[in-house]
Structure 1
Amino acid sequence: MPLLDLERLTDGLSPTWTGYLRDWDRSLRSGNYPETTRYNYILAAAQLARYLAEHSPDPEASAASEDPAEVTKAHIEAFQSWMIETRSAATAVNKHKALQQFFKWLMLDEAEIDRSPLERVRLPKAPTKLVPVIDDEVTTQLLGACKGKDFLSLRDEAIIRLFCNTGARLSEVAGLTLEDVDLKTESVVFHGKGAKVRRVRVGARTARALSRYLRARAKRKGAELPALWLADRGGRPLHANGIKIRLKRLGKAAGLAGLHAHQWRHTYAHQWKLAGGDTGDLMLLLGWSSDAMPRHYGASAAAERAQQTQVRMGIGDNV
Structure 2
Amino acid sequence: MSSADSAPESTPDLGALLDSWTFQLRVERKSPNTIRGYRTGVERFLEWARETGNEPVLDRPTVAAFMVHLLDSGAEPSTAATRHLALRRFSAWLCEEGETTVDDLLNSKPPKIDTKIVPTLSEEQLSALVKATQGTNFRDRRDEAIVRLMIETGMRAGEVVDLHLDDIDLTRGLVLVRKSKTGKGRIVPIGPHTVRAIDRYIRHRRRHDRAGSKDLWLGEQQKQFGYYGLYRTLLRRAESAGIRDFHPHVLRHTAAHRWLAAGGSEGGLMSVAGWSQRGMIDRYAAHAAASRAADEARNLNLGDL
Q: Which residue of 1 aligns with 2:175?
A: 188
Q: Which residue of 2 aligns with 1:27?
A: 24
1:311 aligned to which of 295, 298, 305: 298
Quote the Cα distance in structure 2 between the aligned partners of 1:132 and 1:27. 37
Distance 1:99 1:165, change over 3 A: same
Cα distance, 1:140 vs. partner? 2.0
Distance 1:233 1:104, change over 3 A: farther
Distance 1:125 1:195, change over 3 A: closer
Point out where structure 1 has 5 or more consecutive residues left out of the alignment: 1-15, 65-69
Quote the Cα distance in structure 2 between the aligned partners of 1:201 and 1:210. 13
Quote the Cα distance in structure 2 between the aligned partners of 1:21 and 1:218. 43
Check if 1:52 corresponds to 2:52.
no
Cα pair 1:92 1:124 within 8 Å, conserved: yes
Q: Which residue of 1 aligns with 2:145?
A: 158
Cα distance, 1:223 vs. partner? 2.0
Quote the Cα distance in structure 1 between the aligned partners of 2:20 and 2:242. 42
Q: Which residue of 2 aligns with 1:11?
A: none
Quote the Cα distance in structure 2 between the aligned partners of 1:233 and 1:43. 33
Distance 1:111 1:200, change over 3 A: same
RMSD (CA atoms) = 2.1
Q: Matched residue of 2:176: which SS? A: strand
Cα pair 1:35 1:171 within 8 Å, conserved: no
Q: Which residue of 2 aligns with 1:133?
A: 120
2:187 aligned to which of 187, 196, 199: 199
Cα distance, 1:128 vs. partner? 1.3
Distance 1:26 1:225, change over 3 A: farther
Check if 1:78 corresponds to 2:75.
no
Cα pair 1:106 1:113 within 8 Å, conserved: yes
Aligned length: 292
Using the size of structure 2 for normalisation, the TM-score is 0.87
* Alignment of structure 1 residues 1-319 onto 2, 5 Å: 16-54=13-51, 56=52, 59-61=53-55, 64=56, 70-86=57-73, 87-108=75-96, 110-119=97-106, 121-190=108-177, 191-236=179-224, 238-315=225-302, 317-319=303-305
Quote the Cα distance in structure 2 between the aligned partners of 1:78 and 1:37. 24
Q: Matched residue of 1:199: which SS? A: strand
Q: Which residue of 1 aligns with 2:9?
A: none
Percent of aligned pairs sharing the same letter = 33
Q: Matched residue of 2:121: which SS? A: coil
Cα distance, 1:48 vs. partner? 1.5
Q: Matched residue of 1:129: which SS? A: coil
Q: Matched residue of 2:210: which SS? A: coil
Name the structure, 1 or 2, with higher relative contact order (CA <8 Å, separation 6+).
Answer: 2
Cα pair 2:15 2:46 within 8 Å, conserved: no
Superposed CA deviations along residues 83-117 of structure 1, whole A, max 9, x for unmatched, are 21232222112221222222222222x22123334
Q: Which residue of 1 aligns with 2:8?
A: none
1:215 is aligned with what amino acid?
A: R
Distance 1:245 1:22, change over 3 A: farther
Cα pair 1:45 1:99 within 8 Å, conserved: yes
Quote the Cα distance in structure 2 between the aligned partners of 1:142 and 1:276. 24
Superposed CA deviations along residues 240-288 of structure 1, whole A, max 9, x for unmatched, are 2321232223333444333222212211211222222211111111111
Quote the Cα distance in structure 2 between the aligned partners of 1:247 and 1:115. 46
1:127 is aligned with what amino acid?
A: D
Distance 1:114 1:269, change over 3 A: same
Cα pair 1:164 1:265 within 8 Å, conserved: yes
Point out where structure 2 has 5 or more consecutive residues left out of the alignment: 1-12
Cα pair 2:45 2:66 within 8 Å, conserved: yes
Quote the Cα distance in structure 1 between the aligned partners of 2:137 and 2:104. 53
Superposed CA deviations along residues 134-178 of structure 1, whole A, max 9, x for unmatched, are 112212222222222222221111111110011111111111011
Cα pair 2:58 2:105 within 8 Å, conserved: no
Structure 1's consecutive aligned runs of 4 or more residues displaced over 4 angstroms after TM superposition are 16-19
Distance 1:254 1:312, change over 3 A: closer
Distance 1:121 1:200, change over 3 A: closer
Quote the Cα distance in structure 2 between the aligned partners of 1:21 and 1:40. 13
Superposed CA deviations along residues 168-207 of structure 1, whole A, max 9, x for unmatched, are 1111111101110112212110132333111112111111
Distance 1:201 1:31, change over 3 A: same
